[in-house]
């Protein structure tokens, strides 16, 4: 006899989430292990002294962790999933009939906190891991991954128009602020969650006197150090923002175009082909068994992996008081500046070097003779190639010959690409010599072994969650 299911729901019975969530559930383990009570002090300065209570900051950061564990990128989707998951409700401390925060409230809170609060939160979690002896510190792995932005290429607009509009709005805001300053100030009200509270901007204390270094420097040395620091682009202090100064004829698409949907995203070539707006997320992972992520930086997709490497490695080293013996990365990190900086710090660099000789099906650098006195190359037929431009991020230089001579040369086909004409990209000799003379970047068995270990630990560190399910990098 075929049965028919009748839709009938009994009245709500007395039930507790404590009974419904298994004792060995993942979120119970997170609750027992990770203490987030410190976040209230972390964000205290962003809240007013009076008004109605807001969403508990501990709940907000727990929701951010749920987004990471579940591989969710949308706060709207997050709150939909929270409403359906008993385990997540228990982790947040919400009962079955208790109203959840609105997703728009999470967006406003995140924007109010800013990047600095999230960085301090990240550092506090790593510090807890270090206190539990989960950080080894003898070996570091560095890598990056592509992250697609929720924006389309059609949203790209001339940058000057967007910046001019922003400057105009800032000017008008300053004029209205000056006019309002002559009137009696009244506290503004803003909605946080389903409650309203008076918001007053916290007083920002700026320190004009630099903090004294723990070493004694002469006045000349101090001025030289200050000048060097002022001229250096600190990727972490700049929160991954790109240098937009245009030098010579070199321009990137994002130098004169910006997305109105996501201004921080830039055009990114996907590994499977095509172009999309996105970012690069850079990671420094500890080589210990726990594979703790020690440092994270998000940059526009145009920033090559080797550019923020030194800032990431040295901040990791000094922030956590580590003494790494070696750093492992892929070929992208094998630039002379990175290798020399690591060697000077007593760190062995396991980095596969680019195969300049067999990188392309044309004459390799060994077929050309370098004239160090005049900084030029001599081709196999005796013609001179002079320096025409530098590719700093790729650590290559373009040397060009006379167009008429090159076009008439019988060796042009095996010598140069037809698209490049009479220009050849060759490594700067000082870069090649420095890399070849370094024992720590050789292509021997030790490098292959460390690089293989890096692939395993890097991929596992940021591609798996606590339940073992693959998730996207957040």
- The residue extents of the domains of the chain are 17-132, 135-163+233-241+253-351+443-474, 365-436
What is residue 464's DSSP assignment? B
Work out whether strand 156-158 and strand 348-350 pair parallel, antiparallel, or are unpaired. unpaired
Task: Give the three-state DSSP class for 269.
Answer: strand
- The position carrying tokens 């339940």 is 467
State which H helix or E strand residue 395 sits in.
Answer: none
Q: State how far the Cα of 391 lies from the Cα of 388, in Å rounded to an integer.
A: 10
**What's the confidence (pLDDT) of residue 157?**
93
The region, left, alpha or beta by phi > 0 then psi within -120 to 50, assigned to residue 346 is left
Q: State how far the Cα of 48 lies from the Cα of 199, in Å rounded to an integer.
A: 5
Q: Give the distance, in angstroms, between the CA of residue 413 and the centroid of all CA atoms in the same chain.
A: 42
Q: Which residues of the chain have pLDDT under 70?
A: 1, 3, 12, 180-215, 246-250, 354-361, 391-396, 416-474
| CB-based contacts of 21-30 (< 8 A; 24+ apart in sequence) | 21/86, 21/87, 21/90, 25/87, 26/69, 26/87, 26/466, 26/467, 27/87, 27/88, 27/90, 27/91, 28/90, 28/91, 29/466, 30/65, 30/91, 30/466
**What's the confidence (pLDDT) of residue 453?**
59
**What's the confidence (pLDDT) of residue 434?**
47
Q: State how far the Cα of 57 lies from the Cα of 43, in Å rounded to an integer.
A: 8
Q: Give the distance, in angstroms, between the CA of residue 73 and the centroid of all CA atoms in the same chain.
A: 16
Q: State how far the Cα of 261 lies from the Cα of 266, in Å rounded to an integer.
A: 11
**What's the confidence (pLDDT) of residue 247?**
61
Are 292 and 285 in contact by the 8 Å Cβ rule? The answer is: yes
- The position carrying tokens 């390799």 is 364
Q: Write the CB contacts of 144 (distance below 8 Å, at least 6 apart in sequence).
A: 280, 281, 282, 283, 305
Q: Give the distance, in angstroms, between the CA of residue 299 and the centroid of all CA atoms in the same chain.
A: 5
Q: State how far the Cα of 35 lies from the Cα of 124, in Å rounded to an integer.
A: 10
Nearest to 262 by CA among 214, 306, 300: 300
Distances (CA, A) of 232 to 209, 292, 332: 20, 29, 21
State which H helix or E strand residue 314 sits in.
Answer: helix 309-319
Q: Write the CB contacts of 459 (distance below 8 Å, at least 6 apart in sequence).
A: none
Quote the tokens at residue 323.
């003494």
User: E strands, 107-216, where?
Assistant: 139-148, 156-158, 188-192, 195-199
The hierarchical CATH code for the domain 135-163+233-241+253-351+443-474 is 3.30.420
Quote the tokens at residue 76.
């709207």
Q: State how far the Cα of 182 lies from the Cα of 193, in Å rounded to an integer.
A: 32
Q: State how far the Cα of 17 lies from the Cα of 153, in Å rounded to an integer.
A: 46
User: E strands, 251-368, where?
Assistant: 257-259, 266-269, 275-286, 293-300, 326-328, 348-350
**What's the confidence (pLDDT) of residue 367?**
82
- For 65-110, the three-class secondary structure string (H helix, E strand, C coil) is HHHHHHCCCCHHHHHHHHHHCHHHHHHHCCCCCCCCCCHHHHHHHH
pTM of the model: 0.75
Are 323 and 137 in contact by the 8 Å Cβ rule? The answer is: yes
What is residue 140's DSSP assignment? E
Q: Write the CB contacts of 372 (distance below 8 Å, at least 6 apart in sequence).
A: 429
């Amino acid at each position: 006899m075929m049965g028919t299911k009748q839709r009938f729901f009994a009245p709500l019975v007395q039930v507790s989430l404590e009974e419904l969530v298994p004792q060995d559930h993942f979120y119970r383990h997170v609750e027992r292990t990770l203490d987030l009570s410190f976040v209230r002090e972390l964000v205290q300065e962003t809240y007013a002294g009076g008004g109605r209570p807001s969403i508990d900051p501990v709940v907000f950061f727990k929701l951010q962790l749920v987004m990471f564990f579940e591989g969710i990128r949308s706060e709207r989707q997050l709150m939909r999933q929270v409403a359906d998951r008993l385990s997540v409700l228990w982790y947040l401390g919400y009962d079955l009939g208790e109203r959840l925060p609105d997703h728009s409230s999470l967006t406003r809170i995140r924007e109010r906190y800013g990047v600095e609060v999230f960085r301090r939160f990240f550092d506090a979690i790593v510090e807890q891991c270090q206190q539990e002896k989960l950080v080894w510190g003898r070996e570091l792995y560095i890598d990056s991954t592509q992250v697609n932005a929720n924006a389309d290429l059609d949203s790209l607009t001339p940058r000057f128009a967007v910046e001019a509009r922003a400057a105009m709005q800032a000017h008008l805001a300053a004029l209205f602020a000056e006019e309002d300053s002559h009137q009696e100030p009244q506290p503004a009200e803003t909605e946080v969650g389903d409650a309203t509270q008076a918001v007053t901007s916290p007083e920002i204390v700026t320190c004009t006197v630099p903090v004294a270094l723990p070493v004694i420097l002469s006045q000349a040395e101090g001025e030289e150090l200050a000048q060097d620091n002022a001229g250096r682009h600190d990727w972490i202090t700049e929160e991954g923002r790109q240098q937009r100064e245009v030098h010579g004829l070199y321009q990137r698409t994002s130098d004169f175009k910006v997305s109105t949907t996501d201004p921080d995203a830039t055009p990114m070539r996907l590994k499977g082909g095509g172009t999309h707006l996105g970012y690069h997320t850079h990671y420094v992972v500890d080589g210990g068994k726990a594979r703790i992520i020690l440092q994270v930086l998000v940059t526009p997709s145009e920033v090559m992996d080797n550019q923020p490497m030194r800032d990431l490695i040295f901040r990791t080293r000094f922030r956590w008081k580590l003494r790494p013996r070696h750093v492992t990365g892929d070929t992208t990190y094998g630039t002379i500046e990175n290798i020399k900086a690591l060697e000077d710090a007593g760190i062995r660099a396991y980095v596969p070097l680019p195969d300049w000789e067999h990188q392309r099906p044309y004459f390799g650098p060994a077929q050309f003779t370098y004239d160090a006195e005049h900084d030029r190359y001599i081709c196999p037929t005796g013609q001179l190639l002079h320096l025409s431009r530098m590719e700093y991020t790729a650590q290559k230089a373009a040397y060009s010959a006379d167009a008429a001579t090159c076009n008439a040369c019988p060796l042009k086909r095996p010598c140069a690409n037809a698209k490049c004409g009479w220009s050849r990209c060759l490594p700067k000799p000082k870069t090649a010599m420095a890399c070849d003379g370094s024992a720590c970047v050789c292509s021997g068995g030790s490098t292959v072994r460390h690089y293989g270990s890096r692939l395993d630990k890097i991929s596992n560190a940021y591609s798996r969650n606590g339940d073992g399910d693959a998730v996207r990098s957040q």
